[in-house]
Structure 1
């Protein structure tokens, strides 16, 4: 198709930079019930199975981040060329869009298509702010990874059009670490030859008191936060036998990283890693630009080492397009969301802002496979779990952060720490409080 050729041509000449899709939890909002969209009923366009006929006179407003607008400007231009639908782009931070849509949607002034991290989906769907991805559901499910589909599904309904993934992986200095470690046993062996606390040199460093980065020590060996793929708040698995096995590995690593959790933060870790005083760092793509600038060809990316003999399971986030349920042009909006999340669009997004594709064919494309940095993140994403998007996720951080700190700093028995965290989490959920 001509437009695919144009997209691929744009992909071939774009330059790489990196941005992040931050995630944050917020309270479930109240919203009016959206009015029925009677402008047009879905109908197949000739020659394009599953496509919709856009409403007469349709024009779209898209909300996009400042950092990723360079991509959306290009994709909107191509969309307009194909469908003759004008597109206006307004800069709104993705993490602010659900809150903004809560008021702007019912007022009829919200964007037709929005983009936000999947951990905001529960709020948006519960408040009926977004439409299901129905007309393109089968195509979306076929084209994207299962964990991406899981991330943009809420209460068994597919809402999102996935466009990019985010997870953390193992950064390593290839001048210091000749081969990425396959397991944490390998990490320990290397660190015993490198770590020197007196000289502030460490084989590996990560935020040991942060639940987000330590989820692999819960999930890799069989633990979980909520059952049924993160949707069942009554089934808490952060203190089961699997989680305990992983937490014992976590506790043992204090030997090679004898630093209190409060003394490890992004700034400290960044300085040590770029100076060559930390050989390995578990971190996300938001650090890629700075690390690449500092280390150049010495920078390597690999999946997180195995834990307890099991592949490490990280948290992942999925940024996706969603259609405003109050849009006057729902067909046109769905067409844009589909167009802007295709394989070619995701490859363009990667070239423009360094994103990780969720599209399975894009992940196997030479553009991604031949990029040793991004392919490392892709490998970890394939073995990740989407962060739960249910509102009760807001209550997880405080109890589990406290448990990690007690184990790491004070040597508390992992079982006692996890049991306390699970009890506290249940209390918070039952009381309706976050902290």
Structure 2
């Protein structure tokens, strides 16, 4: 499907917000950070004689004297974050240092580094980590800019970063993954995995590093194989930790489809990495790459002629991917919480989200940015938006943290060791249940 008219793309973006709105009350269920957490050990930021900004003072949120900030950022986003930091420093006179920590690892790392006084002032993470962060008292509520943040961003994004009725985050982007395809190798993208297997008969040449279809082997992507037939993580929209659907009959059937793919991808799960896929795709040795909007900018720079389509259907059913919201939070251990709040407000503005989109391909959570012609007229977004309409948001309850390792290990066992899908998934669910019980 090709959609070029702005009004149609606007409708698709609205649909995206509606899909994520299913988070609803799913993200609620724990207490806010304690006052004591706010005065805990300071960050490792070095002191500075930077003056407080007159603009911030007029806004009644004057940054602390001598404030400097440390932001944790994932590797591929660091150049962009450093540019935001420079703009912020030029405007407010507050130095910003960016340190590399993967988004998925930040909350776990903050659990130890925050109390030790070596953590950051600001973290950036996917919303499924919110429950764990709140339960551990790691982050501060978005209080000063709460109303403005709610007014500026989609309901879905606000819901995703709200826990127990309290807004903790400053949304940055919304996302899911879809199927990137090399237009020089594929004239019409496959609509089903049956078509993928058929195309592989003539295209695959794995001895010479030539592959039809690749995806990163972690549970964020593997989940689609279990969810499409009818599996799920937690029941009742992602909030019932006692109802785990990763080993129901539908999920087991999906795992069998996943296992069959090894016929055309004879590669260990540990070898199916982002960098491997990127190299194969940009060199013309990979026809289909499962990826997200974060890869668009690099692929454009590489010169590869590519398009984006929804994921292939499984047994006639539209493929169900994970979707999520990424955003900022201020660490409860920051020595400079006012300056940190000022920074995240600046970094998530309409202007900065549009720059994120232009340079990185991320989809804005800011409503005005999402409706900007620069976003709505981009044909590459069509496939992402179509896939988003079939996605399900990652659960954000604290128990989601108990899912990733057992589930990914089970899928690796199914793939690498040809383990019976039911046995592997039953084992994963048992591990998740035990972990949930231990933390109740």
Q: Relative to 1, partners in 2 of residues 1:367 and 1:32: Cα closer, same or farther, differing over 3 Å?
A: same
1:272 aligns with 2:280: yes
Question: 1:266 and 1:345 mapped to 2: Cα distance?
Answer: 26
For these two proteins, the number of residue pairs brought into alignment is 383
Answer whether contact 1:350 1:356 (CA < 8 A) is retained.
yes
Are residue 257 (structure 1) and residue 289 (structure 2) matched?
no
- 2:82–2:98 Cα contact (<8 Å) kept: no
Query: Which residue number corresponds to residue 255 of structure 2?
Result: 247
Q: What CA distance in whole angstroms lies between the structure 2 residues aligned with 1:92 and 1:382?
A: 34
SS in 1 for 2:172: strand
Q: What SS does the corresponding residue of 2:369 show, helix, strand or coil?
A: helix
Greater CA deviation, 356-365 or 375-384?
375-384
Give the drift of 1:165: 3.7
**Counterpart selection for 2:81 from 63, 69, 73:** 69
From 319, 322, 335, the equivalent of 2:326 is 319
Q: For the Cα contact (< 8 Å) 2:122–2:330, is it kept in 1?
A: yes
Question: Which deviates the most, 364-373 or 104-113?
Answer: 104-113
Residue equivalent to 1:221: 229
1:92 counterpart SS class: strand
Residues 1:210 and 2:222 aligned together: no
Q: Do 1:165 and 1:381's aligned partners in 2 also have CA atoms closer than 8 Å?
A: no
Contact 2:239-2:395 within 8 A present in 1 as well: yes
Alignment partner for residue 139 of structure 2, among 107, 124, 130? 130
Tell me the TM-score normalised to structure 2 length: 0.70
Question: Aligned runs of 1:11-30 on 2, under 5 Å?
Answer: none
The alpha carbon displacement at 1:113 in A equals: 5.0
- Which of 197, 201, 222 is the aligned partner of 1:192? 201
In the TM superposition, residue 214 of structure 1 has moved relative to its aligned partner by: 0.8
Mapped to 2, the partners of 1:420 and 1:106 lie a distance apart of 34
Contact 1:129 1:324 survives alignment (8 Å):
yes
Which secondary structure state, in structure 1, belongs to the residue aligned with residue 97 of structure 2? strand
Q: Is 1:404 aligned to residue 416 of structure 2?
A: no
Evaluate the alpha carbon distance shift between residue 103 and residue 412 of structure 1 in structure 2; reply closer, same or farther with a 3 A threshold: closer
Q: Which residue of 1 aligns with 2:173?
A: 164
In structure 1, the residue matched to 2:289 is 281
TM-score by length of 1: 0.71
Q: Distance in 1 between matches of 2:416 and 2:334?
A: 51
Q: Contact conserved, 1:168 with 1:283, CA < 8 A, in 2? A: yes
**Aligned with residue 173 of structure 1, among 174, 178, 182:** 182
* Offset, 1:177: 0.8
> Aligned pair 1:342/2:345, yes or no?
no
1:419 lines up with 2:419 in the alignment: no
Q: Is there any run of 5+ residues in structure 2 with no aligned partner, and where?
A: 1-32, 40-57
Tell me which residue corresponds to 2:36. Answer: 33
CA RMSD of aligned residues (A): 4.0
